[in-house]
Amino acid sequence: ALLVLGALSACTNKLAPAASKVFRDAVAPADPKATKETVALFRSMWNLQQKGIMYGHQDDLMYGRTWWYEKDRSDTKDFTGDYPAVAGFELGDIELGKSRSLDSVDFAQIAEQVKAHYKRGGIITLSWHLNNPLTRQLPDSGRKSKPTAWDVSSDKVVASILPAGENHALYNSWLDKLSLFFARLKDEKGTPIPFIFRPYHEHSGNFFWWGTPLSTDGQYAALWRYTVEYLRDKKGFHNILYAYNTDRTTSLQQYLKGYPGDDIIDMLSFDMYDRGPRFNAELDSALNYVTKTAIARKKLTGLSETGGRRGMENWWSTVLLPIVSKYPVGYTLTWRHTYNQRFAGSPTAPKPFPADFINFYNSPRSFFLKDIQDEDVYKSKSK
Ligand code: BMA
């Protein structure tokens, strides 16, 4: 994560006005009314993804294995001296009007940390493991399993929340609760904070109620379209970049199953965890077709969840980094370090990252917060 970006932004600033206009018109969020900070973020990410990969970490600012919500603390910073470029947060249970997420994180504190990370010049991504709106309503005695995002007991859920479905009003009320939270994400001047929203993720999998086997492609695309239109046109949010996301796929055709359209989506991303030696070839191949189609469509890219191979010491520097370096991948994020009270204060507590993570950090191709602060992704300094 060396500071290699200064030279580059200096060079784009030197473009002649005509050329820079062409450049400015070249890429933009799908929302024609996107706020200027959101447009700036989109363009900054577009530039950055051609130079290297930003590091992101889920709940990095909320807790680590040994600590719980300490102001300004971050596992990434503890280990490397710098914050992640991208901070991930999870909104599951917000739709039920709860004050804490399914991972016990206080939503007020999430809003606080979103603001803090934005102020530092960092990027925010929000995921949403929303409950199952159909089975949630059944009495306990009528449920086959817990009515969470992972409840795949019915293939009627997506249809039931679309405009003609019996749970449509309930779904709207869930989007209203989500919107109340989104409305809190403003800086001290009242400017809405741009963020990447990645709902209905890992679509190609079969483990969430919105997974591929549980709805038709048309229903899944309609769910996406309805959700974006509700938040964008009805609620008036123009600070959201929408990330389409799948789990592991093996072809572009499979990747795009149920894709709602380029007028809805800003980022093409997927999640892929390393479960064994086949990962190298699978990641390489998926990055190849996903980034190719993303660039052709002028969309951002992300390996929005990944994780190292069990028992492999140099995964960051010998597997992840060489493969992602072949393609324009905007960011990669590793998932949360679940807090465990047993570890708190214990000298034998596991370290947040393997030693090799420092090699990834030291690479000029990886970007952490300080690297992107130079790029001023929201163009706030030039305002
Ligand atoms: C999963 C796990 C769960 C968590 C969920 C939402 O992959 O980490 O423990 O509840 O993500 O953050």
Ligand 1 pocket at CB < 6 A:
90, 92, 102-103, 129, 335-336
What does the pLDDT read at residue 382? Answer: 60
Residue 224 token pair: 């996406």
Question: Over its length of 383 residues, how does the chain's per-residue pLDDT go in tens digits?
Answer: 654 444 444 444 444 444 455 554 579 999 999 999 999 999 999 999 999 999 999 999 999 999 999 999 999 999 999 999 999 999 999 999 999 999 999 999 999 999 999 999 999 999 999 999 999 999 999 898 999 999 999 999 999 999 999 999 999 999 999 999 999 999 999 999 999 999 999 999 999 999 999 999 999 999 999 999 999 999 999 999 999 999 999 999 999 999 999 999 999 999 999 999 999 999 999 999 999 999 999 999 999 999 999 999 999 999 999 999 999 999 999 999 999 999 988 888 889 999 999 999 999 999 999 999 989 999 986 65
Pair of tokens at residue 374: 């130079």
pLDDT, position 347: 87
Q: Is 202 a catalytic residue?
A: yes
- Per-residue H/E/C for the chain: CCCCHHHHHHHHHCCCHHHHHHHHHHCCCCCCCCCHHHHHHHHHHHHHCCCCEEEEEECCCCECCCCECCCCCCHHHHHHCCCECEEEEECCCHHHCCCECCCCCEHHHHHHHHHHHHHCCCEEEEEECCCCCCHHHCCHHHCCCCCCCCCCCCCCHHHHHCCCCCCHHHHHHHHHHHHHHHCCCECCCCCECCEEEEECCCCCCCCCCCCHHHCCHHHHHHHHHHHHHHHHHHCCCCCEEEEEEECCCCCHHHHCCCCCCCCCCCEEEEEEECCCCCHHHHHHHHHHHHHHHHHHCCCEEEEEEEECCCCCCCHHHHHHHHHHCCCCCCEEEECCCCCCCCCCCCCCCCCCCCCCHHHHHHCCCEEEHHHHHHHCCCCCCCC
Gap from CA of 264 to ligand 1 centroid (Å): 26
Residue written as tokens 């925010």? 124
Among protein residues, the one with the nearest Cα to ligand 1's atom 9 is 103
Backbone region of residue 376 per phi and psi (left: phi > 0; alpha: psi in -120 to 50; beta: other values): left
90 is catalytic: no
Question: Ligand 1: which of 57, 100, 102, 110 to mutate, most ligand atoms within 8 Å of CB?
Answer: 102
Q: What is the pLDDT of residue 10?
A: 40
Cα 25 to middle of ligand 1, angstroms: 39
Dist. CA 343–CA 348, nearest whole Å: 8
Whole-number Å distance between alpha carbons of 226 and 230: 6
Pocket test for ligand 1, best of 336, 338, 339 (most atoms within 8 A of CB): 336
Its pTM stands at 0.94
Say which of 202, 229, 282, 375 is annotated catalytic: 202
How many CB atoms sit inside 10 A of residue 369's CB?
A: 24
Q: Which of 37, 90, 95, 305 is catalytic?
A: 305
Would you state the pLDDT for residue 381? Answer: 67
Between vectors from CA 72 to CA 305 and to CA 74, what angle results, nearest 5°?
35
Considering only CA atoms, which of 100, 205, 107 is closest in space to residue 150? 205
Give me ligand 1 centre to Cα 102, in Å.
Answer: 8
What is the spatial distance between Cα 16 and Cα 13, in angstroms, rounded to a whole number?
A: 8
